[in-house]
Chains A and B, each alone.
Chain A
């Protein structure tokens, strides 16, 4: 079973990181979202630095959702999902492994790059590493919640938009605690620990529960 798990992770990783796989596109999308913000907000460095954590988090949210709609759809379209369902691995575990590979290939690079983008928003360089930590803690929840939406829309040809509409409201708690933690990390008055702990709790909860919801959706939505 561990061979099957590792094999699936490696396959997903390879697909995401090869040409057209979407891992690098997510990072570039993140960069562009952050880069256009100063044009929209104007040249007020103090204001940019103040809303910088929020911009980073919204950009991370949208960049995460960008590639997630294909999480199961590719496998559905080419018939792989049929074979995966009967592979002997529980479907819940298959979902979890696919999410883990997607997170490692798409979301982890965003968190690692975020200090660089924070500098573009005029944020202080010192605490930016802590902002990256909040992204590492929170993005697993985004990926797992997104996986439920991806499973629900797996058989729809243009399911990406519907998935975003379904998923974005569910990500609000993550966004609230994520921005609170990032603001606290970058020099706010409130302490960092409470929102960061909540963020970790949301991620752990999503990792534990979302595979069951997504697997149930996959079983019922497929014809």
Chain B
């Protein structure tokens, strides 16, 4: 599987925020999108997921399911956690497993929560969880239904160091299983050998490719 972009340009509100962006990522590879605030990292991820139209260029996915679009083969994790606060963590995950074509049995989503160290809060309403715990429940959605491409926008927001290490293990396991990760981040994600794509006017220190 190989995801590539040729000369992408994105406009929002009449302003061109990205132009001439090209990249290519293969199965088992992670690509980190780096750049200052407003450089278009989130917009690029949203465009790959199919939420934003492209002004120029195109994405191509080789080796995926031919009938489905890129968005339907990708998990998109944005700034918002996509959790319903009135439902328990388990109910949220069971729903996403159903909706995204995963296994919605209790054993399956408990295993997903357990990988992020959250099995003990499975039956609490999400509104009773802390910001970091909500983020981890949102991350567990990536495991509740198998999809090869992960589009992660600041995935480690609000996570403590132990949870960041756990999530790094989860990401490495996904890459080892032939997955593909595109992550916009300011924090180090602890992924060895991940390629970097610099967007916008990056200071020299952060521009090393």
Residues of A in contact with B (beta carbons under 8 Å apart):
3-4, 6-8, 10-11, 14-15, 18-21, 74, 77-80, 82-89, 222-223
Q: Which of A15, A85, A89 touches B84 (beta carbons < 8 Å)?
A: A15
- B71 engages A79 (CB within 8 Å): no
Interface size class, chain B: 20 to 34
Report the tally of A-B residue pairs with Cβ distances under 8 A. Answer: 83
Report whether over half of chain A's contact residues are helix, strand or loop; otherwise say mixed.
Answer: helix
- B76 engages A83 (CB within 8 Å): yes
Point out the residues of chain A lying under 8 angstroms from B131, CB to CB.
Answer: none
- A79 engages B86 (CB within 8 Å): no
- A7 engages B94 (CB within 8 Å): yes
- A15 engages B51 (CB within 8 Å): no
Residues of B in contact with A (beta carbons under 8 Å apart):
12, 49-52, 68, 71-72, 74, 76, 78-87, 91, 94-96, 98-101, 104, 141
Q: Which of A11, A85, A86, A88 touches B95 (beta carbons < 8 Å)?
A: A11
- A79 engages B79 (CB within 8 Å): yes
Report whether over half of chain B's contact residues are helix, strand or loop; otherwise say mixed.
Answer: loop
Distance (whole angstroms) from the CB of B3 to the closest CB of chain A = 15
Point out the residues of chain A lying under 8 angstroms from B79, CB to CB.
Answer: 79
Point out the residues of chain B lying under 8 angstroms from A3, CB to CB.
Answer: 98, 104
* From A6, A74, A86, residue with most partner B Cβ within 10 Å: A86
Alpha-carbon gap, A20 to B85, bound state (A): 11
Distance (whole angstroms) from the CB of B33 to the closest CB of chain A = 18
Determine the residue in chain A with the shortest Cβ distance to B85. A78
Alpha-carbon gap, A83 to B96, bound state (A): 9
Alpha-carbon gap, A8 to B12, bound state (A): 32
Q: Which of A11, A21, A79 touches B81 (beta carbons < 8 Å)?
A: A79
